[in-house]
Amino acid sequence: MIVLILLTVGIDVLVVSRHGAASLQVNQSGVPANVPTSLANLMALAPTPRIPAPAFTLTDQNGMTLSLASFKGHAVVLDFMDPKCIDICPLVSQEFVDAYHSLGSSASSVVFLAVNVNKYHLSTSAVRAFTDGHGLNKIPNWHFFTGNLSSLRKIWSKYGITVQAPSPTADVVHTSIVYFIDSHGRERYIASPTDYHTPQGTVYLPANQLTAWGHGIATISGDLVRS
């Protein structure tokens, strides 16, 4: 498997999926026509084979046990997050909230999901605290899933997610990939979030890029609602 590592000041972000590493410059072929090339490049957006997304059943931040299959009929935006993350996950969270607000009348037909990658914080209270702390509770169709480590590892493997968590106090370095899944449960696109760090190590993404990501997620998922 090819791994592309984006070296930043602070935490490294692994960018890879089982479909291969996402390119920083995207071939526009297969990308939705209403996604400008500049936005596709920003998101490292790439089409995937239309194969069923790997199934899973996990418990969300509210203690509800749900399967991926239960969201058939909705477009699904899926990411893998660390509930203790202070790096890229809060930025992706803001992009999800922005996307939800940008969806307008299509918002009820799109589900936003995350799967826990922090083996030291597997409780529903951990994913609920992250949800509340980053405004994801503003999204009615948001589910931050967790479970036992054995189940999570199987899901990470199925989606090509690499996780490095050497100790409870160390930063969790993990693959950062957003999967776009259509209403029939098929993978359609992947995108690769990114971030930057100041010399002092503070994580950020320029406001225009945050806004663009939110718009891009809304555009792609909205299209999948109608496909």
Tokens of 60: 């969300």
Residue-level pLDDT at 55: 98
* Spans of all domains in the chain: 4-226
The rounded average pLDDT for each run of 10 residues, N- to C-terminus, in the chain (227 residues) is: 30 48 53 93 95 98 98 98 94 98 96 98 98 97 98 98 91 94 97 90 91 97 91
- pLDDT recorded at residue 10: 32
pLDDT at 196: 87
The class (CATH top level) of 4-226 is alpha beta
Can you give the pTM of this predicted structure?
0.88
